Amino acid sequence: MTDTVVVLGAGYAGAGAVQQLEDELNGSTEIVWVSDTDYHLVLHESHRVIRDPSIQHKITIPVEEIKSPATTFVEGEVTNLDVDDREVELADGDTIDYDYALVALGSQTAYYGIPGLEEHSLTLKSLDDALEIHEQVKAAAQDATRSDPAEVVIGGAGLSGIQSAGEVAEFRDKHNAPIEITLVEALEEIFPPGSDEIQRALREKLEAAGVNILTDDPITEATADAIEFDERDAIDYDVFVWTGGVTGRDAMAGAELDNEHNRINAASTFETSDERVFAIGDSAVIDQGENPAPPTAQAAWQAAEVAGENLARAIDGRPLKTWAHKDKGTVISIGDEAVACDVDPGFGAGRLFEPIGSFGGLPAETLKKVIAARWIADLTSWNRARKAWDAL
């Protein structure tokens, strides 16, 4: 009987792994691909939709354009993985049997138990989230005046928060809208993992874009119209976006797999505590020695290729490959501008040169576009990537 491999999720990890599996398995094994959307979202560019929803089709790629006709796609929300019965459970009550499963469900917003946060904030983890932020910013601006502007507060100044602030500023400028933007960070400086140089460059660009920055004081509570802090006085808001971090999917809470906050522990081969389940991307905590692989698109994209190959190897009983994450650097947008940091000039082909600490201007803006365009081209075609170029 033919084996069935089920891939859960259509993010970078899932989409990449499906294509790799199709190449590796060559029709010998049935591939079933499950996702709650029938498209792949280029998530690291989703903030662009806050400024302009009309670009959404440029950063969403229908699964039909990604998979081969032989792969079966099921649109459904995964609610559990029953490793004993080897079945995937869906919200509509349906189940899918598997011989091997690859968990690539991504992450969800973390609220850390902060009172009122989940109830009152908007998030940025899907296309619908980005559209909702756009709608709420637009509506708040329509009700506002120059003397009483719409207050948009963004909580958490990691990449999601910084890039969202940049897009709200672009929306404000494009529509000459009365909007005040405040970016809030618990730690001493925005983009805490960055070097002083990067943090300074990001701060300069955000301030030049008219974003107020409040650091060194965590949000401790959210109410229907205000954000409260540990030390500072509360601030009122009309729109509150929470980008304070990510955690594992609730859908994996009941799966009997070793995990950390619903992110599944995986070896550098992507094997988990169950021999028939592999895990990659933000869904997994992938052993890389001292520190696990980061929950980034870059890591998921890299991992997908090896994970697809390893699943094929596991089915054939061949030895598995180990994966080593290579950090090629980060490019961060502030509206149409960008800052690049720790970019590997060898693009991951071994660190032939020292990484470039920081640069901005046209090289950084172009690099940001090239990265997203390359991903779209890898999944589909350069023609599709070319059409998306101006939105990236």
Binding site for ligand NAD (CB under 6 A): 44, 114, 155-161, 184-187, 192, 218-219, 243-246, 294-297, 330
Q: By C-beta, is 308 or 329 nearer to ligand NAD?
A: 329
CB of 133 to ligand NAD, least distance (A): 14
- For residues 231 and 354, which CB has a smaller minimum distance to ligand NAD in the complex? 231
Spatial distance between the Cα atoms of 222 and 125, rounded to a whole number of angstroms: 19
Whole-angstrom distance, CA of residue 332 vs CA of residue 248 = 24
- Report in angstroms how near the CB of residue 294 gets to ligand NAD at its nearest: 5
- Tell me whether strands 39-41 and 60-62 are parallel, antiparallel or unpaired: antiparallel
DSSP 14-52: HHHHHHHHHHHHTTSSEEEEEESSSEEE-GGGTTHHHH-
Distances in Å between the Cα of 332 and the Cα atoms of 70, 159, 245, 337 are 38, 7, 16, 9
Closest distance of CB 218 from ligand NAD, Å: 4
The smaller minimum CB distance to ligand NAD, of residues 83 and 392, is found at 392
For 333, the enclosing helix (H) or strand (E) is: strand 330-334
Residue nearest to ligand NAD as judged by C-beta position: 158
List, in sequence order, every residue forming a beta bridge with 236; answer none if it has no partner: 226
- Angle subtended by helix axes 12-25 and 297-316, to nearest 10: 30
Identify which of residues 192 and 254 has a Cβ nearer to ligand NAD in the complex. Answer: 192
Instruction: Using the minimum distance from each CB to ligand NAD, give the nearer residue, 16 or 100.
Output: 16
Residue 387 CB, nearest approach to ligand NAD (Å): 21
Task: Compare residues 283 and 330 and give the one whose CB is closer to ligand NAD.
Answer: 330
Residue 209 Cβ, how far from ligand NAD at the closest point, in Å? Answer: 17
CB of 155 to ligand NAD, least distance (A): 5
Cβ atoms of 287 and 267 within 8 Å: the answer is yes
